[in-house]
Amino acid sequence: MADPRFFAASGPFTVAEIAARTGARIGGAATPERLLRDVAPLQTAGIEALSFFDNVKYRDEFARTRAGAVLAHPKMAAQAPAGLCLLLTEKPYRAYAAAAQMFYPVAPVVSGIAPTATIDPSARIGDGTAIGPHAVIGARVEIGRQCRIGANSVIGEGSTIGDDTRIDDNVSVSHAVIGARVRLFPGVRIGQDGFGFSADAEGFVKIPQLGRVIIEDGVEIGANSTVDRGAGPDTIIGAGTMIDNLVQVGHNVQIGRNCIFAGMVGISGSTKFGDFVMVGGQAGFAGHLTIGRGARISAQAGVMKDVADGETVGGTPALPLREAMRQALALKKLTGKGGA
Least distance CB 78 / its own copies (angstroms)? 23
Q: Which of 73, 134, 175, 251 is catalytic?
A: 251
Nearer to its own copies, 31 or 252 (CB): 252
Nearer to its own copies, 127 or 202 (CB): 202
Nearer to its own copies, 30 or 224 (CB): 224
Q: Which residues pair with 118 in a beta bridge?
A: 136
Nearer to its own copies, 30 or 300 (CB): 300
Strand order from edge to edge, sheet including 296-297: 112-113, 130-131, 148-149, 166-167, 183-184, 220-221, 242-243, 260-261, 278-279, 296-297, 312-314, 319-320
> What sign results for the dihedral spanned by CA atoms 98, 99, 104, 110?
positive
Least distance CB 221 / its own copies (angstroms)? 11
Least distance CB 281 / its own copies (angstroms)? 5
Helix crossing, 15-22 with 92-103: angle to 10°? 120
Least distance CB 71 / its own copies (angstroms)? 11
Distance CA 156, CA 135 (A): 11
Nearer to its own copies, 40 or 125 (CB): 40
Residue 18, judged by CB atoms within 10 A of its CB (0-12, 13-18, 19+), counts as: buried
**Is 288 labeled as catalytic in the residue annotation?**
no
Least distance CB 1 / its own copies (angstroms)? 9
Least distance CB 331 / its own copies (angstroms)? 5
- Helix (H/G/I), strand (E/B), else coil: 255: strand
Q: Which of 136, 171, 178, 127 is nearest to 157 (CA)?
A: 136
Distance CA 232, CA 252 (A): 8
Query: Which bin fits 130, alpha (ψ -120 to 50), beta or left (φ > 0)?
Result: beta
Nearer to its own copies, 29 or 288 (CB): 288
> What sign results for the dihedral spanned by CA atoms 58, 62, 66, 67?
positive
Active site members: 251
